[in-house]
Chains A and B, each alone.
Chain A
Amino acid sequence: MNFRTDSRQFKRINRRELLKLSPVLALGAFAIPKLQKPLLKTGLAFSDWASARLFRSGHLAPTFDDSELTPFARFPINDYDVDDPGVDLNNWTLTVSGAVRKPGDYTLAQIQTLPKFSQNTRHVCIEGWDVIGRFGGARLADFLNMIGADPAARFITVQCADDYYESLDMATARHPQSLLCYEMYDQPLTREHGAPLRLNIPTKIGYKQAKYLTDLKMSHVLEKAGYWEDQGYSEFYGL
């Protein structure tokens, strides 16, 4: 398709075409300090929304042979504070509260009456490393039935002996691989790995799998997403 024009008119055409690109400048909003934080927060929230949509209750995380396990001594010990918050293992209970029919203190023996499941799954840290570990414990879904969790409750929040705190959405909590974990590598949890009880959620990133649990609360609204979430990490971070 050919047409004739003169240099003056051609300049106008070029200017118009250039101006059509001006929406690109909208990206400059990210360079404005006042706007940057809310924009990135929105981006992260959108990613979390998409993550929740991508989660499938029936889809299992890959499991591995015993030969693929990372040796226990090479399973990293990560915490935000102390390796051993000094939990009194003899008098420990998990305090259950919130939207449940049977709130109160649950002993480890009570939790261990639930069917035990063991799984070799990948533990992925937000830093980028990953290990394959062996985890054993009760299904969180079974425990929710034990405490009479309100089916309408939407979140679980946990408190830890080291003041760490975390939260889980109900779809993830009821996933068959989500465990209240009291064993690693077929041995009772060591103190550094969260004795006597931690979360093992193979469909979540590492920081959501809190250790040294002391309290568990069911709620309809999310009051506190978690320690790292408060520093700026993703709230959902499903794998």
Chain B
Amino acid sequence: MSTQIAAITNVKTGAISEAVYEHPFIVRLCHWVNAVALLILVFSGLQIFRAFPSFGAKIPQKDLLHWPKAYALGGWLGGGLQWHLTFMWIYIGTGLLYLTYEIFSRNYKQVLFMPRDIRGVWPMVHHYFFFGPKPYIREAYNPLQKLAYTSAILLGILSVLTGLAIWKPVQFSWLAWLMGGFHWARLWHFAMMWAILAFLFGHLVMVVLHGWNNFVSMLTGWKKDPEYL
């Protein structure tokens, strides 16, 4: 798939600018539906966690953290589960649609972190965190971005697998076994949530830093004046 590039003539000034079609419709659709599903799963998941906020024994019970009820969705355990068991299908559905689309459209080349991207990671880290020079950008996503997005996709897959292991520890007993048993699978599921939230935090910081045109590209697909053209 070749990327679409538009040369835009300003009707008032006659100046010419460029724009790139970075995000195909399916990607944008999955991004936003999945984002809503993710937030609902986080806050309903925390409601479920509140029913037993521990990863130890029931007797004696030592709570790990008290998550306030005001920041949990569903009102009570049963309500939280209803939200969770509803939106997990939307989360899985958009995830599968996205992965299928990426593979068959070959759009995955834009986002998949490959071995050749490894050497480009440090210069980006150096630039972002240690005020190093800005590396020359040649693609829509720089190597650090690819690493972040590929990791996020993997975390998403792992969040589903750990979730399946605690929802169905008997039917998917092999999955629970892989994770060290039901008990550990529950801890992994919780850990995946925090890992995804850590990604989300970094993602949002970057969205703010990279400005309006970058944000709009996930809504319309088109990025105006991309730095790599």
Given A10-B6, A17-B221, A43-B87, is A127 in contact with B171 using a C-beta cutoff of 8 Å? no
Residues of B within 8 A of A5 (CB): 6-9
Q: Is the beta-carbon distance between A59 and B9 smaller than 8 angstroms?
A: no
State whether A4 touches B6 (Cβ < 8 A). Answer: yes
Is there a chain B Cβ closer than 8 Å to A1's Cβ?
yes
Q: Which residue of B lies closest to A41 (CB)?
A: B82
> Please, which residues of chain B bring their CB within 8 A of the CB of A21?
25, 28-29, 32, 219
> Are A4 and B169 within 8 A (Cβ)?
no
Q: How far, in whole Å, are A20 and B97 apart by their CA atoms in the complex? A: 17
CA distance A5 to B7 in the complex (A): 6
Chain B residues with CB under 8 Å of chain A are 2-12, 19, 25, 28-29, 32-33, 36, 40, 48-49, 51-52, 54, 57-59, 61, 77-79, 81-83, 85-90, 168-171, 173, 177, 182-183, 186, 216, 219-222
Across the two chains, which residue of chain B brings its CB closest to A70?
B57
A128 touches B82 (CB 8 A): no
A89 on the B face (CB < 8 A)? no
| A6 in complex: contacting residue of B5, B11, B170, CB < 8 Å | B11
Q: Nearest chain-B residue to A202 (Cβ)?
A: B170
Which residues of the partner chain A approach B36 to less than 8 Å between Cβ atoms? 24, 27
Q: Within the complex, what minimum Cβ distance (angstroms) separates A104 from chain B?
A: 34
* Chain A residues whose CB sits within 8 angstroms of the CB of B57 once the complex forms: 70, 74, 129
- Nearest residue in A to B172 (C-beta to C-beta)? A54
Given contacts A18-B219, A18-B220, whether A24 and B32 have CB atoms under 8 Å apart is yes
Of A18, A20, A122, A233, which contacts B169 at CB under 8 A? A122
**A185 at the binding interface (Cβ < 8 Å):** no
Number of A-B contacts (CB under 8 A): 151
Cβ-defined contact, B82 with A43, below 8 A: yes
Contacts of A126 in B (CB 8 A): 51, 77, 81
B59 & A40 in contact (Cβ 8 Å cutoff): no
Interface contact B11-A7, CB-CB below 8 Å: yes
Report the nearest A residue to B90, measured CB to CB: A27
Residues B77 and A61 in contact, CB atoms below 8 Å apart = no
Asked whether B59 lies within 8 Å of A1 as measured between CB atoms, the reply is: no
Per the bound structure, the CA–CA distance linking A100 and B51 in Å amounts to 40
28 A-B pairs whose Cβ atoms sit less than 8 Å apart in the complex: A1-B4, A2-B5, A3-B4, A3-B6, A3-B7, A6-B9, A7-B8, A10-B6, A13-B220, A17-B25, A17-B219, A17-B222, A18-B219, A21-B25, A24-B33, A24-B36, A46-B86, A47-B89, A54-B171, A62-B173, A70-B57, A122-B169, A122-B182, A124-B169, A128-B52, A129-B52, A130-B182, A228-B78
Residues of A near B173 (CB, < 8 A) are 59, 61-62
Cα(A21)–Cα(B19), bound, Å:
20
Residue of B nearest to A128 (CB): B52
Contacts of B169 in A (CB 8 A): 62, 122, 124, 239
Chain B neighbourhood of A61, CB < 8 A: 170, 173
Q: Say which residue of A15, A44, A239 sits within 8 Å of B86 (CB atoms).
A: A44
B6 to chain A, nearest CB (A): 5
CB distance A43 to B81 under 8 Å?
A: no
Q: Check if A187 is an interface residue, CB within 8 A of chain B.
A: no
Check: A157 CB closer than 8 A to any chain B CB. no
Q: Is the CB of B87 within 8 A of A74?
A: no
Measured CB to CB, the closest approach of chain B to A28, in angstroms, equals 9
Instruction: Let me know if B77 and A43 touch, CB within 8 A.
Output: no
- B176 → chain A closest CB, angstroms: 8
| Interface membership of A118, Cβ < 8 A | no
Nearest opposing residue in chain A for B59, CB measure: A74
Chain A residue nearest in CB terms to B53: A128
Contact B86 A39 (CB under 8 A): yes
Whether the pair A2, B6 counts as a contact (CB closer than 8 A) is yes
Cβ–Cβ contact B5 & A14, under 8 A = no
Decide if A43 touches B9 in the complex (CB within 8 Å): no
